[in-house]
Structures are given as C-alpha cells and as structure tokens.
C-alpha cells in the first residue's frame, strides 16, 4: 500500500505520534509546536518544517531571497500560533551540486532577514547536496504557561476570529501558475508571506484556542474542532479577503472565497474568544464554536479540504 493512499498528513501523524514518556513534555507531535516545561511556568516551544522545491516554492517564481524569507517566516508563524516568541533557529539545507554562491548568499540573506526582524539567532546549520532545494527549519521558542494557546482550548459559544485578510497566498500562486503578468502585490502574498507575530500581544490576552492559517481556514477550523471536541459555524460574508483578490479570481474564473478557505499559506492567526471579548477582537469575527463535530459554512456542512503537503493535493471542491 502506498503512503499517499493512507489519507494525508493527518493520518501519518496519527501513525507515528506516541505519548511522550518524559513528564516535562506537555505536547508532542500534533499541534503547531511541541511544548516542553523548562521550569515552573517557563515553557519551550519547538517546531520543525521542511520546505521542498516544487511543492512549497518554485525557483521559477521565487528569488533565493524569497525562499529564505518564506522558509523562516512560515516557521515563526508556528511559534506565534502557540503564543510564543522565537529564541533561536537551526537549519538544514539540501542544495543541488550546481548551486551558485550568489544563490546560497541570497537564500541566507532571506533567512537572516526574518531572524533579524524577530530578533533571534540562527545557531546551527547543516548543508548537504541533493537533487532539489530543500530547507528544514527548526525553531525553539518560549512562552509562559499563562500565554500558551493550544488547538484544544475552544469551547461552545466561543467566537472564531482571524487576525487578518486571507486568500492572498493562493491568489498569488494562481497568478504565477497561469503566467499572468503584473499583479505584483498579490503575487507577494505567495512568495513572501508575513505572519502575525506583531499582533500577538493584542491577541493572546483574549484568545482561547489558536492556530495559524497554513493549510486554509477550513482545514485549521477543523483542526481546532477536532482537538477541542466541538463543531463550528462559519459565515462566508464575514471572512476578510486580501485586497485585489476578487479581481484575480474574476480574471481566472475562480471563487475568491475558496482561496481563503482552501488555499493556505496566509499565516494569519485563527483563534477563538469568549463572546464577552468580542469588542477586543483583533481582526475579524468569522463564525462561532458550536456543540458537535461538524463545521458548517452558511449552514452547509464543510469538508476539510485544505492543502496536504504529503499527498500534494489542494482540493478545491
């Protein structure tokens, strides 16, 4: 049996995850980050992500600087999604034998630009050679127990909010894939996304469950619902869309809402809040948590259908 027939990345995670034996490991495989208690309230957050040429980026559309930016920023987003800040990073990078020094330097300039933006050090690296450009980023972050936000912390009655407009990354990808000239601002959403670490101090005090939008809003809301044992209702007219993507969608005959729901890689935060905190929401309320285990969009049951980095399928229904 092929691994691709197992049912995607979630099925793989369930296959390999084990209950950690060490008491200090509070969360293992399965959330945006692992969580380890260092002492008392002090927690470390650990995350690793591998970006593969042809899947997460293309050397046709991306400058090497963009590749570095995106690889690092998407990992910073995972630390933000748990309520943390980054302490340090480690890299392992696979490069084809014909890679130029200027490609290497530009790639690292992108990686370091993000590290500088958030004020952390890159403390380890391994460079090897292979057929594709592949970048694995490990980040260690920290938070304290009172700021930790997990997928499992949502409850019925919570409002669901997103920290910023969605769909831009998929719109940019669609323009690039279709060879459409211009629209540089939309394309940048795909090639150099920016996470919402800077809004975290306004979000953490009110957030209950939280996650970053790496695989599309539908997929992330499903993750929160499954981890919290709840359902959700989303309202399409409330979902904030990035500027200019309606124009992109019209041009390509797509539905812009599908970019937001199923596109992924927007790296905004999706989080739940108590209705009492509605006036303090940073971003936009897009729905609410309900009893049950189903996610509804405008009253219709919504399937998961985000981007799956193992099967490579990006299902737009």
The residues in 283-312 that bind its own copies, with binding defined as CB under 8 A, are 309-312
- Residues contacting residue 14 through CB under 8 Å, at least 6 positions apart: none
Instruction: Calculate helix-pair angle for 184-191, 168-177, nearest 10 degrees.
Output: 110
Phi, psi for residue 280 in degrees, rounded to 5: -95, 0
Q: Which H or E run contains 222?
A: helix 217-228
316 binds its own copies (CB under 8 A): no
SS3 at position 1:
coil
What is the separation, in whole angstroms, between the first and last Cα of the chain? Answer: 26
43, 71, 91, 269: which one contacts its own copies (CB under 8 A)? 91
Cβ at position 35, least distance to its own copies in Å: 9
In Å, how far are 42, 151, 289, 291, 296 from 229, measured between CA atoms? 27, 10, 10, 8, 15
Long-range contacts for 186-189 (Cβ within 8 Å, ≥24 apart)? Answer: 186/242, 186/244, 186/245, 186/248, 187/61, 189/242, 189/266
Nearer to its own copies, 112 or 296 (CB): 112
122 binds its own copies (CB under 8 A): yes
Site for its own copies in 2-61 (CB under 8 A): 2-6, 9, 12-13, 15-18, 20-22, 25, 27-29, 33-34, 36, 38-39, 46-56
* Segment near its own copies (CB under 8 A); pick from 84-92, 146-154, 245-253, 270-278: 84-92
87 binds its own copies (CB under 8 A): yes
Nearer to its own copies, 56 or 183 (CB): 56
Nearer to its own copies, 36 or 221 (CB): 36
Cβ at position 138, least distance to its own copies in Å: 4
Nearer to its own copies, 14 or 280 (CB): 14
243 binds its own copies (CB under 8 A): no
Q: Do 190 and 174 contact (CB within 8 A), yes or no?
A: no
Selection from 111, 102, 123 nearest residue 68 by Cα: 111
Cβ at position 302, least distance to its own copies in Å: 25
Site for its own copies in 134-153 (CB under 8 A): 134, 136, 138, 140
* Token reading at 249: 């969608």
Q: Find the length of the chain.
A: 317
Site for its own copies in 92-121 (CB under 8 A): 92-95, 97-105, 108, 112, 119-121
160 binds its own copies (CB under 8 A): no
Q: Do 157 and 208 contact (CB within 8 A), yes or no?
A: no
Cβ at position 115, least distance to its own copies in Å: 9
């Amino acid at each position: 049996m092929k691994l691709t027939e197992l049912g995607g990345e979630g099925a793989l995670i369930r296959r390999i995850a084990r209950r950690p034996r060490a008491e200090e490991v509070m969360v293992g495989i399965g959330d945006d980050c692992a969580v380890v208690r260092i002492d008392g309230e002090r927690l470390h957050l650990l995350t690793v992500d591998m970006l593969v040429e042809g899947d997460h980026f293309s050397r046709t559309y991306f400058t090497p600087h963009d590749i570095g930016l995106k690889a690092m920023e998407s990992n910073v987003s995972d630390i933000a999604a748990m309520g943390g800040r980054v302490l340090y990073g480690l890299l392992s990078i696979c490069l084809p034998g014909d890679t130029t020094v200027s490609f290497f330097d530009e790639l690292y300039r992108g990686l370091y630009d993000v590290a500088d933006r958030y004020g952390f050090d890159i403390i380890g690296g391994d460079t090897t050679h292979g057929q594709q450009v592949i970048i694995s980023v490990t980040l260690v972050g920290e938070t304290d127990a009172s700021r930790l936000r997990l997928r499992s912390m949502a409850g019925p009655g919570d409002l669901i909010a997103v920290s910023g407009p969605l769909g831009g990354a998929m719109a940019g990808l669609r323009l690039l894939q279709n060879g459409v000239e211009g629209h540089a601002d939309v394309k940048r959403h795909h090639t150099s996304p920016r996470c919402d670490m800077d809004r975290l101090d306004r979000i953490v005090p009110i957030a209950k469950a939280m996650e970053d939008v790496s695989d599309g809003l539908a997929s992330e809301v499903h993750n929160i619902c499954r981890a919290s044992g709840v359902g959700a209702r989303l309202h399409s007219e409330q979902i904030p869309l990035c500027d200019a993507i309606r124009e992109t969608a019209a041009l390509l005959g797509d539905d812009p809402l599908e970019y937001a729901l199923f596109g992924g890689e927007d790296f905004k935060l999706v989080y739940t809040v108590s209705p009492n905190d509605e006036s303090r929401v940073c971003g936009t309320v897009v729905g609410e948590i309900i009893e049950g285990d189903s996610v509804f969009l405008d009253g219709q049951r919504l399937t998961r259908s985000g981007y799956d980095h193992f099967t490579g399928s990006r299902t737009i229904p």
